[in-house]
Structure 1
């Protein structure tokens, strides 16, 4: 004879629980019970993640506050220094643009530091572009998100004066951001997308290069030939490829060649026979003037998940290594005629497609033809250098605030 537990006792509760478990093991949960169980599990996971999510929110707010403060002191200070140096621009234009370029490099270094301290680092592959950092070159870059620009700002910081002497071609919408006035002063070009604006924009680009490139001692130009983000242009590009019997691309889009052609025609020196003059890939010490190199630059993100500028600023994504691959082409090997140049650019982006496919399958770029194994290089920023330029920005902001305040009180 088995004793029956009295109701309300621990033994009775245990027996009830055992009975419930036995019943559930014999029959599946009812839909309402199943939903309730899953909801409880989700709630438990959410409660466990709550401290981490709270810390991420606090960190994002702190980073955003620092970024705002950084912009409020660094950009006005840059403008004030440029105004102060205007007499030097009249007396010695080359020295003025050199000093302006150094300050511009520091500003881009500050942007790079936001990602650096969030753990968004860069791994470089392919040819070493430091070897041609003193020559004129055009960078052709694939475009996936706004973070591409920040990535380039970071990985070009250790390439000598490249950033200081660089001209960016970017979408006109960036003109209206906080950094727009800096780019306008520096001489970057804002291009308006759209078929109805294309011819006009190319004429404006030609005039801009004639008036600003050599006069400001610029050496490198950064160009995104796809004309927009991958996610926005992929479908249109694939439709164009199908209509014109061109390769079907998924990781990049077919490039537009109008801006590239304008740049090459404006900056490539010509020999007496009309052919382009330029360096040789095996003779990097070439002293010939004019545009000498095309740098085919491919940016790859792990799992094909690009970083946007919001992530770069707020840092809510886990530390990520962005991979950048370089190939250098001497300008004498680049055709300048319209159809030949278009085919040459298409071929570069077909090769980018292959590079990215290999990367997404293996996690690494393939080796070049002359090497058996692919070699990567860690890109690093000096923490001391970042501290110094940030300190200079805040001290400058404090100095200019006091100067302006003093002048205001004297006048009023």
Structure 2
């Protein structure tokens, strides 16, 4: 297999660490509602994806993250709250309630705001924490034991497909009257201009994250503090038309299992050979390049706004006391 590397921005300086993209080109779904599925290994996955998609126009401002509730209390939690991302609460006791909250969030936030992308980590937790649980579940349900990913949970995807999937008007096992009521509920309090447009998903973008030597990035020590030596991280994309996903719950769950079983095999080959499997003799690898001038302007704005906030807080505090 031959490897071809493309630099889409040759006039920008390379970063210390590199992010390489391969597989399908995500730009194909750029103007369409897309569900993004990604494997989850550490707290560094979210900033990694944000950094990789930053050079793509109109992506970060048009996506909604579905992440664990614990991230609500991190340094970027307030930004995610204002951006109206969704924080899902893990645990069996809160699972059903969280899924209903997700349903309401899609109806009252995702659709009215006109978001195009929705990012979901179906494994429901980090790889090292869920591998043992996944193996026990595989034993009980006659499923393969996965090493590089874990078996996904289908609850959140089922809710998403019920609300904005292409078959939502004819969900199996639901009467026409019930479907009509749910459709009316989905568009209630939604601006007429938004409700009139096509709100259903059109693509699924499957993202496979591969870290060097199977050692993932961590938010605090690696991303914030930057103590890890430069490394090369790989993102492999696969695009699926939403119509390929079965409309029934059992078929959809099996489709999701198949994707992660396939993802496990791809990661096994990648860590063994350094290449993701491909049907052609040539694999095109695209290096993510950032616009350093834009980064400089953004960071100057962040520093200036922090200084202004500090001075305002100091003035208010002095006036009170």
Normalising by the smaller structure, the TM-score range is 0.7 to 0.9
Partner of 2:293: 384
- Name the CA distance, whole Å, in 1 between partners of 2:317 and 2:135: 59
Query: Would you say 1:300 and 2:197 are equivalent positions?
Result: no
Partner of 1:216: 113
Partner of 1:232: 129
Contact kept, 8 Å, 2:35 with 2:119, in 1: the verdict is yes
Query: Would you say 1:139 and 2:36 are equivalent positions?
Result: yes
- Name the CA distance, whole Å, in 2 between partners of 1:119 and 1:271: 46
- Name the CA distance, whole Å, in 2 between partners of 1:127 and 1:138: 15
Contact kept, 8 Å, 1:147 with 1:312, in 2: the verdict is yes
Partner of 2:201: 291
Q: 1:395 aligns with which of 295, 301, 304?
A: 304
Q: Which has the higher strand share?
A: 2
* Structure 2 unmatched ranges of 5 or more: 1-12, 173-196
1:314 CA displacement? 1.5
Partner of 1:313: 224
Q: 1:371 aligns with which of 280, 294, 297?
A: 280
Q: Secondary structure at the match of 1:255?
A: coil
Query: Would you say 1:346 and 2:257 are equivalent positions?
Result: yes
Q: Which has the higher helix share?
A: 1
Name the CA shift for 1:180/1:273 in 2 (closer, same or farther; >3 Å): closer
Contact kept, 8 Å, 2:122 with 2:154, in 1: the verdict is yes
Contact kept, 8 Å, 2:42 with 2:216, in 1: the verdict is yes
Alpha-carbon displacement from aligned partner over 1:3-59 (angstroms, at most 9, x marks no partner): xxxxxxxxxxxxxxxxxxxxxxxxxxxxxxxxxxxxxxxxxxxxxxxxxxxxxxxxx
How many residues are treated as equivalent by the alignment?
A: 284
Name the CA shift for 1:264/1:273 in 2 (closer, same or farther; >3 Å): closer
Contact kept, 8 Å, 1:142 with 1:224, in 2: the verdict is yes
Contact kept, 8 Å, 2:22 with 2:237, in 1: the verdict is yes
Alignment map for 1:120-199 (pairs within 5 Å) = 120-199=17-96
TM-score (normalizing by structure 2): 0.82
- Name the CA distance, whole Å, in 1 between partners of 2:109 and 2:59: 16
* Structure 1 unmatched ranges of 5 or more: 1-115, 276-286
Q: Secondary structure at the match of 2:149?
A: coil
1:143 CA displacement? 0.7
Alignment map for 1:15-94 (pairs within 5 Å) = none
1:341 CA displacement? 0.8
TM-score (normalizing by structure 1): 0.65
Name the CA shift for 1:408/1:233 in 2 (closer, same or farther; >3 Å): closer
Contact kept, 8 Å, 2:19 with 2:234, in 1: the verdict is yes
Q: 1:355 aligns with which of 259, 262, 266?
A: 266
Contact kept, 8 Å, 2:111 with 2:199, in 1: the verdict is no
Name the CA shift for 1:240/1:272 in 2 (closer, same or farther; >3 Å): closer
Larger-gyration structure (1/2): 1
- Name the CA distance, whole Å, in 1 between partners of 2:43 and 2:319: 44
Name the CA shift for 1:244/1:252 in 2 (closer, same or farther; >3 Å): same
Q: Give the number of the structure with larger relative contact order, counting CA–CA contacts within 8 Å between residues 6 or more apart.
A: 2
